[in-house]
Structure 1
């Protein structure tokens, strides 16, 4: 395979493909990439390279649009993106308001340095949610990559400065970002339903976190109100998305499974941390019971639909 037609980082990206696939299709991929990136600006070229890299990794990991793992990721990605964006929105907006408040009152404040940290860690995922709300998953993936790297990097440099320390470390942030980045684009792109799912999960999450913090319970009970919202809303929202998948006319059991597993993924770091209270185990057991109820409810709804479809039409 020749790399002479591949611009910039193209040769390196092509090596991400499995050797057999690269040997068979490498020339075509290189020519297509060269044509697609010709005359593009740097951000547009980066998006093309990101698409190429994610496609190569999906082939290597066997998570294509027809593979069970790929369809499960497509079911989980909108929920994960919504949760990340909602959490980031809660992290950024109060930081900005607090900084403005302290500046106006001439009180000590961290100034633009802390605001830059907060924006770098949170803004990309907020913008990604805005992108998927209008069906721009390709842009959302690029923003998600930036959010994953900047969020984890800021965490390493500045240390955990939010409630997220209760549930994970930078690696958990990377895992959640990978779910969004590796979900097959053909199952998400130009899909307004997935954008609605992400928005319906993310915006109420942020609003509930802000409301729970503003009640004063944050001060007097060391964050217990925020912690309960941080745990309960993702589980309830995930169950609602799961129900939507299960009662859909053209349902995909793998996508439904991916959506349902998101709740356990959200709890996993806390469950693996021995220092956390038993409350997390209780939440996990409660979520499994909620999933069982959701499956039973969806089965009942489908049964009623089939029964009504078989009923003869009432003659006028």
Structure 2
């Protein structure tokens, strides 16, 4: 626990370090390994938010809370899209095993990532966010090993994905949306449904070209449906709208840029939505819990 307490800023650690350590020991006393890992991840996330100044009372914390559901959606859609790209390498009979195995591993890490995003969107933000982060990190490591050390190339393509997953982890605990799925059976159903959807979109016979973008668009739409109206209700200012759309635009760039009209149309719709929110705010409608 001493190592976890050291993650906090020095001033906060001096004032509340003993309380944090005591609370951790009380929460994990007699608990199993899973509970200790969960508590440790919660403490780690809280320490990161403290260092970055992402408290629920500050504007930055509220912005991250508004962006988090859309970041999780973009992470899930991107993972499915990349898994589809890995499929030919994983199933090609002409490739030797040492070449095909990394592609299989990449498909597995992408599946872990999309499952983490779905778990987060269902309301288990800590478990889902850290699962998505683990999947993203494993993907980056596997790609670097497959390329024989092409770290710069991997970071160029994977940094936006890691940042989006980090936004899910850094969402202030008291600003996280209420769980959309409240029972263990419901959560299991979401996981199974997500795995089936990702599997169909990954191995399904989608043609190349604009139809290949369905591997991003379909899971993204499903993620937004799972996030539901509460996610959109937080977008009460133009900056919140623009930031919420940023992960979808950046991670979905391979899809948006395939068609000469889709990308510009998406940008126009985004600017119109941001302007509408700004006008509505200026007319004096009081924001509820947005940013």
Q: Name the TM tier (shorter chain).
A: 0.5 to 0.7
1:45 aligned to 2:28? no
Asked if 2 retains the 8 angstrom alpha-carbon contact of 1:267 and 1:280, the reply is no
After superposition, the Cα gap between the structure-2 partners of 1:115 and 1:236, relative to the gap in structure 1 and judged at 3 Å, is closer
Q: Secondary structure at the match of 1:192?
A: coil
Asked if 2 retains the 8 angstrom alpha-carbon contact of 1:86 and 1:206, the reply is no
Among 57, 63, 78, which residue is 2:69 paired with?
78
CA distance in 2, matches of 1:67, 1:301: 22
The CA RMSD over aligned residues, in Å, is 4.9
The residue that corresponds to 2:21 in the other structure is 30
Asked if 1 retains the 8 angstrom alpha-carbon contact of 2:160 and 2:250, the reply is no
Q: Radius of gyration: which is bigger?
A: 1
CA distance in 2, matches of 1:70, 1:131: 21
Among 125, 129, 136, which residue is 1:141 paired with?
129
The residue that corresponds to 1:289 in the other structure is 268
CA distance in 1, matches of 2:21, 2:134: 25
CA distance in 2, matches of 1:253, 1:141: 24
Q: Kindly indicate whether structure 1 or structure 2 has the higher relative contact order, using CA contacts under 8 Å at least 6 residues apart.
A: 2
CA distance in 1, matches of 2:230, 2:103: 39
Q: Deviations over 1:185-222 (max 9, x none)?
A: 222253329xxxx99xx99x9699769x9453x2xxxx
Q: Secondary structure at the match of 2:123?
A: coil
Asked if 1 retains the 8 angstrom alpha-carbon contact of 2:123 and 2:178, the reply is yes
1:124 aligned to 2:103? no
Matches within 5 A, 1:166-177: 168-177=156-165
**Gaps (5+ residues) in structure 1?**
1-9, 272-277, 307-316
Matches within 5 A, 1:231-310: 248=233, 251=234, 253=236, 257-267=239-249, 286-295=265-274
Of residues 81-90 and 278-287 in structure 1, the stretch that sits farther from structure 2 once superposed is: 278-287
How many residue pairs get aligned? The number is 265
**Gaps (5+ residues) in structure 2?**
182-189, 286-291
CA drift of 1:47 comes to: 2.1
CA distance in 1, matches of 2:122, 2:217: 27
Asked if 2 retains the 8 angstrom alpha-carbon contact of 1:131 and 1:137, the reply is yes
CA drift of 1:178 comes to: 1.3
Matches within 5 A, 1:56-205: 56-92=47-83, 107-108=93-94, 113-114=101-102, 116-159=104-147, 168-188=156-176, 190-192=178-180
Q: Deviations over 1:150-205 (max 9, x none)?
A: 12212211249xxxx89942322321221111111222253329xxxx99xx99x9
Asked if 2 retains the 8 angstrom alpha-carbon contact of 1:135 and 1:191, the reply is yes
CA drift of 1:86 comes to: 2.4
Asked if 2 retains the 8 angstrom alpha-carbon contact of 1:137 and 1:190, the reply is no
